[in-house]
Amino acid sequence: MAVELVLFEVDPRGVATITLNRPGQLNAINMEMRDLLWQDLLACRDIPEVQVIVFKGEGRCFSAGADISEFGTAPSVMAARQARHQRDVWDLLLHHRCTTIAAMHGFCYGAGLELPLFCDVRIAEDGATFALPEVSLGYIPSAGATQTLPRRVPPGVAASMILTGEPIGTGDALRWGLVDTVAPAGTLEAAVEARVGEGRAGGAADPPARRRKMITEQSAPAAASIR
């Protein structure tokens, strides 16, 4: 039986949970998962009852990043770019009407950090690590981190993470504003539930205030810069 690579459910409260479900590959995000994320985000947008989206990762980590085994497999660079624009998960997430929460544990690398950077709230379990290791493969983060990270953390911190690829831990992530909350080991789910309650109480914005600020601040809007 085929494994669902992205799990999607909506509970009676109007809280949608989107779970990366490829634990054997550390939830490395492949093209099929990208398309499923696109579909699930569209569903959340179009289901009026959904107010909050929680992103999770199954297994040992949130996500170790994009599936590098698929790099260079598109028919052409133009075909890859066209597919990205047709199913632009990142722009959809940036402008989404729902409050978005990332529940982060273990490795949060590459796209596994870039996805949470588009979220309104990032909650990490103590012991999680965060990195943008693309430089070690000879390229730059391609899911918006060159634009979103400097809008979340001090510019020097963003430059160091992007240019060195070195990971940071939860202490530095909290101090620099990369995450909003660090939950002690074993309490991530409870910490997320507390924020879910706050998100529901506030209702669904279009988009929520923190993301609106990120979209419009600095020299160029993030929405234009990431395309």
- Residue 149 CA to residue 206 CA, distance in Å, equals 22
Residue closest to 168 by CA, chosen among 142, 20, 158 = 158
Q: Using CA atoms, how far apart are residues 31 and 83, in angstroms rounded to an integer? A: 10
C-alpha–C-alpha distance, residues 211 and 24, integer Å? 32
CB 26 within 8 A of CB 59: yes
Scan for tokens 């107010």, then name that residue. 51
The maximal CA–CA distance of the chain, rounded, in angstroms, is 50
Q: Quick check: is 134 catalytic?
A: yes
d(CA 189, CA 159): 31
Instruction: Considering the candidates 134, 166, 189, 198, report the single residue annotated as catalytic.
Output: 134
> What CA–CA distance (Å, rounded) separates 89 from 116?
12
Tokens (6 digits) for 95 = 């402008």
Sequence letter at residue 22: R
From the list 114, 166, 189, 198, the catalytic residue is 114
The CA distance from 81 to 163, in Å, is 24
Annotated active-site residue 114? The verdict is yes
Enumerate the active-site residues: 114, 134
